[in-house]
Amino acid sequence: MNKVILIGRLTRDPELKFTAGSGIAVATFTLAVDRNYTNQSGQREADFIPIVCWRKLAETVANNLSKGRLVAVSGSIQTRKYTAQDGTNRYITEVIADSVQFLDRAKDGGSTQRSDISEQVMEDTGFFPVPDGNDEIPF
């Protein structure tokens, strides 16, 4: 089984591109994920994970997320090989996102458009996203 779930903050705005020929949307961004422990000076370190989103999810992410936003990403790890400009073979490991859950509000106070991303999550995984906790508990 190849499944990963990460919670972290975007280190930059998502970059939206379209594949040549077929025009499929692809968005990329880097997620800073805190480690579960502190270093010798008592500070938490972070790992910087490259994330790739495809199709409608890519467009939703590119249109609604920006640097610093807190998100949960669910997907799979993929390693691919490419040839660099100097002719050497290079490898990159990245997370191919199945779903992205917005965990905070935009800095301008606007809506995160949770319904758009929720439909994508339900479509991709069969599960509804976790509610944001704004509703009162009925007991």
Q: Can you tell me the mean pLDDT for 115-131?
A: 50
| pLDDT value of position 42 | 86
Q: How far is CA 67 from CA 29, 45, 139, in A?
A: 9, 18, 38
Q: Can you tell me the mean pLDDT for 59-63?
A: 96
CB 43 within 8 A of CB 35: no
4-102 placed in CATH 2.40.50.140? yes
Residue carrying structure tokens 């319904």 = 115
| Among the listed residues 18, 114, 12, the one whose alpha carbon sits nearest the alpha carbon of residue 58 | 18
Task: Encode pLDDT of 76-105 as tens digits.
Answer: 999 999 999 999 999 999 999 999 999 987
| pLDDT value of position 38 | 85
Q: Can you tell me the mean pLDDT for 66-83?
A: 96
> What is the spatial distance between Cα 70 and Cα 61, in angstroms, rounded to a whole number?
12
Q: Can you tell me the mean pLDDT for 23-29?
A: 97
pLDDT at 55 over 60: yes
| pLDDT value of position 131 | 53
